[in-house]
Amino acid sequence: MMLRTLLATSVATLALTGTASAENWDMPMAYPANNYHTENAQMFVDAVRECTNGELEITIHAGGSLFKGDEIKRAVQVGEAQIGERLLSAHANENAVFGYDSVPFLATSFEASDALRDAARPTLNALLNEQNMTLLYSVPWPPQGLYFAQEVNNLADAAGLKFRAYNAATARVAELAGMVPTQIEAAELKQALATGVVQAFISSGSTGVDEKVWEDLTNFYDAKAWLPRNSIFVNNDAFNALPAASQECLMTHAAEAEARGSAKAAELAGGFLATLADNGLAVSEPGEELANDLAEIGVTMTAEWLEQAGEAGNAIVDAYSN
């Protein structure tokens, strides 16, 4: 073999080895690329890339493009994806603890939501660990309110409406209110509204803006029922296979992403409601009758959740209240 060929071969081998040592992870996410949760995660993966000198490259797949929202948790659990983001409360049927952030009126401000998160973190992380995953960080959605295509002064006004649910708690609200729930991921919400599959739902101003709900709906009642969270978690085998320095980068930047994401959600919340109003939605607090009806549902659902979540759930609420 000529010297030049030999040299070229070793350079090619070196280049290959260099590439092979970098880890490439897939990160499925369910919400749009321009939602603040996704933008925050993009900053997180950029920071991790820099911190690891390019040795850990995480590719975000937004909008349910790699796995749909309801598939993401399992995909990470079995290692089909190494890391992912999911609204864990959507898995409360599996274990009620996952629904800790969707107990009506338990934590209704950003500050309270962060305190509840801290109270729940050890329990939630232990639960994920049993499923071969580790919690990295979580970020709240703005407070949840009710969207309708009509004025609603009390829940009798809403009886019979087809209601989009995103987790067990939202389905239960609908049931108790005499509405008819259907579980629909945000990625399919716009279509479901446009075709009349659903006529009402509960969510934040953020999702209302993402889905341009003013094209189909008319009223938003800012009930501030709870602030659900998107959680970012990693497959334990994938994590354990990383060098210690990369693990450290992930943990450090996860903590930063959590603080940055919570602050961003709080900063954006008012603007989302303003955007809804600018586009013609009637945005208001619930009237007294509607507020009372919702409070009653809250009492029922809190008792149900404490019962279902058992000791672990009670411990979370105790730690939160003290």
Residues at the contact surface with ligand PCA, assessed by CB under 6 A:
87, 141, 166, 186, 203-204, 206-207, 228
Nearest approach in angstroms of CB 206 to ligand PCA is: 6
Nearest approach in angstroms of CB 69 to ligand PCA is: 8
Closest CB to ligand PCA among residues 70, 94: 70
Hey, what amino acid is at 301?
M
Contact 268, 209 (CB under 8 A): no
Closest CB to ligand PCA among residues 238, 297: 297
Closest CB to ligand PCA among residues 63, 246: 63
Instruction: Give the Cα separation of 218 and 187 in Å (integer).
Output: 21
Q: In Å, what is the CA distance from 86 to each residue of 21, 76, 166?
A: 29, 10, 11
| β-sheet with 282-284: strand ranges across | 180-183, 162-165, 200-203, 145-148, 219-221, 282-284
Closest CB to ligand PCA among residues 164, 253: 164
Which residue's Cβ lies closest to ligand PCA? Answer: 204
Nearest approach in angstroms of CB 98 to ligand PCA is: 14
Decide: helix, strand or coil at residue 54: coil
Closest CB to ligand PCA among residues 215, 318: 215
User: Burial of 233 by CB count in 10 Å (0-12 exposed, 13-18 middle, 19+ buried)?
Assistant: buried
Closest CB to ligand PCA among residues 35, 131: 35
Nearest approach in angstroms of CB 170 to ligand PCA is: 8
Query: Residue 301 has which token pair?
Result: 């659902």
Instruction: Give the Cα separation of 76 and 249 in Å (integer).
Output: 20
Nearest approach in angstroms of CB 223 to ligand PCA is: 12
- Residues near 221 by Cβ (< 8 Å), separated by ≥ 6? 145, 146, 148, 152, 284, 285, 286, 290
Instruction: Give the Cα separation of 95 and 91 in Å (integer).
Output: 7
Nearest approach in angstroms of CB 222 to ligand PCA is: 12
Query: Residue 35 has which token pair?
Result: 């939602």
Nearest approach in angstroms of CB 228 to ligand PCA is: 5
Cα 140 from chain centre: 7
Nearest approach in angstroms of CB 184 to ligand PCA is: 9
